[in-house]
Amino acid sequence: HFIKYACANEVAVGELAPLTKKEEELLWHFLYKKSMSQIASSYGMSRKTLYIHRLRICRKYGFKRFFHLLFIYQRSRHIFASKICRVDKNADQA
């Protein structure tokens, strides 16, 4: 399983499917290991809804399991960081 995901440096930032604003917010909570209960209470959502959001995020990035996304993130933070920087720069130009 890991061999397929081990080449994170080959993933182009432009190939990532766009996330909704809510998914972007939740993604960072998921990546920084907040518990589902903490996230659910702060957003007023059920844990089941959060799991659905997490599943959709994984699908948009092409992963079957969140663990794989987390694994790639921990090894290749620059891919995610550069995507965020591009979004911020585009917002400044508008």
Give the pLDDT of the chain (94 residues) as one tens digit per residue: 343 444 444 444 445 678 889 988 898 888 887 888 999 999 999 999 999 999 998 888 888 888 878 777 777 776 666 554 444 444 444 4
- Contact predicate 43/27, CB 8 Å: no
Domain 19-93 has CATH 1.10.510: no
* Domain edges within the chain: 19-93
Please spell the DSSP secondary structure of 25-76, one letter per residue.
HHHHHHHTT--HHHHHHHHT--HHHHHHHHHHHHHHHT-SSHHHHHHHHHH-
